[in-house]
Amino acid sequence: MNIFSVVLISLGLAMDAFAVSLTMGMKINNSGERNKVAIKCGLFFGVFQGIMPFIGWALGKNFTRYISLIDHWIAFIVLGIIGINMIVEAFKKEEDKETANNNKQFLFLAIATSIDALAVGVSLAFLNVNILVPVFIIGLITCILSFIGVFLGRKFGDILKNKAAIIGGIILIIIGTKILVEHLNLL
């Protein structure tokens, strides 16, 4: 597998994390908070997108059918719950709202958006590649795109004002549903 192929795979894997980062950025008005969230998005999503292919590679072909049976359900449920929570938060009074700078939320989002990277890692086990190269490139590209996504999301948030959290929640639900539909071959 050449570097160009790894970069294309990395970009594809990073799109879910990028979309989530956009939604996170939509919710933040404070620039100090935005910087923290951008760094956390980059680190959490980048690290998990890098670790998951390694885990998938280590599991190899013996566990492929078991992982592929549930990965889409996990992503669907986690993204759906977080999306619904974002929509509910949009209707709360300002003083009652949770901060986007919540490590538990980042952890769940990072896991949900990187489950497809686990399956990619399993497929890499069959290609006899040096796993460290794809792991590094996948993690780095996801980190960079997620970091940038928070700032781009803020621009959309400025335009959309208080509707940003609702739209962000809907986007997360759509991403989760898309993952589920694709894996169940409903389209």
pLDDT for 4 beyond 90? no
Give 110-156 pLDDT, tens digit per residue.
988 888 788 788 777 777 778 999 999 999 999 999 999 999 988 87
- Residue 64: pLDDT band with limits 50, 70, 90: low
Please choose, from the candidates 154, 175, 24, the residue with its C-alpha nearest in 3D space to the C-alpha of residue 89: 24
CB–CB of 169/87 below 8 Å? yes
Give 66-78 pLDDT, tens digit per residue.
666 777 787 788 7
Tell me the pLDDT of the chain averaged across its residues. Answer: 81
For 61, the 3-state DSSP assignment is: helix
Cα torsion 53, 83, 167, 23: sign: negative
Which residues are CB-contacts of 84 (< 8 A; sequence separation ≥ 6)?
Answer: 169, 173
Exposure pattern of 76-86 as b/e (b: 16+ CB <10 Å)?
A: bebbbebbeeb
Give 76-100 pLDDT, tens digit per residue.
887 787 778 767 876 775 544 454 5
Question: CA-CA distances (angstroms) from residue 101 to 7, 18, 82?
Answer: 29, 17, 14
Cα torsion 16, 19, 21, 24: sign: negative
Which residues are CB-contacts of 26 (< 8 A; sequence separation ≥ 6)?
Answer: 153, 154, 156, 157, 160, 164, 165, 167, 168
- Residue 170: pLDDT band with limits 50, 70, 90: confident
Range of the domain at 20: 3-184
In total, how many domains does the chain have? 1
pTM of the model: 0.72
